[in-house]
Amino acid sequence: MSHARAVQAEAARRLTAAGVASPETDAALLLAHVLGVSRGNLVLVDEVAAEQEAAYDALVRRRVAREPLQHLTGTAAFRHVELAVGPGVFVPRPETELLAGWAIEEALARAADGVRPVVVDLCTGSGAIARAVADEVPDARVHAVELDESAWAWAARNLADTGVDLRQGDMADAFSDLDGSVDVVACNPPYIPVEAWESVAPEARDHDPALALWSGQDGLDAFRVLERTAARLLRPGGVLGAEHADAQGDSAPAVFVATGRWQDVRDHRDLAGRPRFTTARLAR
């Protein structure tokens, strides 16, 4: 038996030395996972059994090697839902909750007008945005598409029994049956320039699917496809929201401005003040 706080502190020290961004938090969450308790209840644990300590050490070693925390626990929290994640799917980030929140607010506004909103989540990945919308806007008709087969399988697991219409395919030609009828399109597309490989955190670069990360020389290839797809899907006056890299606060909105098909094009910042997602309204 070992003292729980000492075991956790040593793990945090090892994670700090490895350059992990949130070592104390990760050490606590991994220990809570091994012990089968909530993080808040760790303070009630005094001792860690030898077999639990061995399991914890194995997970900490994998995190030191920069395997994503969510791959080790098998779950990722996203707004009010918990998603199953692992190898083969992009792990949803907290900043994407802002885009999901925007989509939810837009859908709720339509519902308040007596309309059953139609929402499409392109490049759904784990199904995070679609799941959040279905959870918080029960009257919405939610559709989602994912190209990558492995990611689609994770989305199918996360969207089971939610009523979401999940399809496998390319967003470029997805949902032709919905053309001109969609109220809200949300998308967290790949947006990292190929040349930025060295600057990407190992957790993403080495573990997230390549299809979810890279998007041409300027990182905006998927945005150009998204602009065309959203213009096809949305009803006149319908809205689009898309996440982008913090260096794309000007270039991402410019993709929509350049076509002349969009009104109210604006960019939104995340909680750290960094440019994070673009919204636009299809001209009537």
Is 189 annotated to bind a ligand? Reply is yes
User: Is 188 annotated as belonging to a binding site?
Assistant: yes
Does 146 appear as a known binding residue?
yes
Q: Is 190 annotated as a binding residue?
A: yes
Report how far residue 274's alpha carbon sits from residue 264's, in angstroms, rounded to the nearest whole number: 20
Q: Is 193 assigned to a binding site?
A: no
Which residues does the annotation place in the binding site for S-adenosyl-L-methionine?
Answer: 146, 188
Which residues does the annotation place in the binding site for substrate?
Answer: 188-191
Which residues does the annotation place in the binding site?
Answer: 146, 188-191
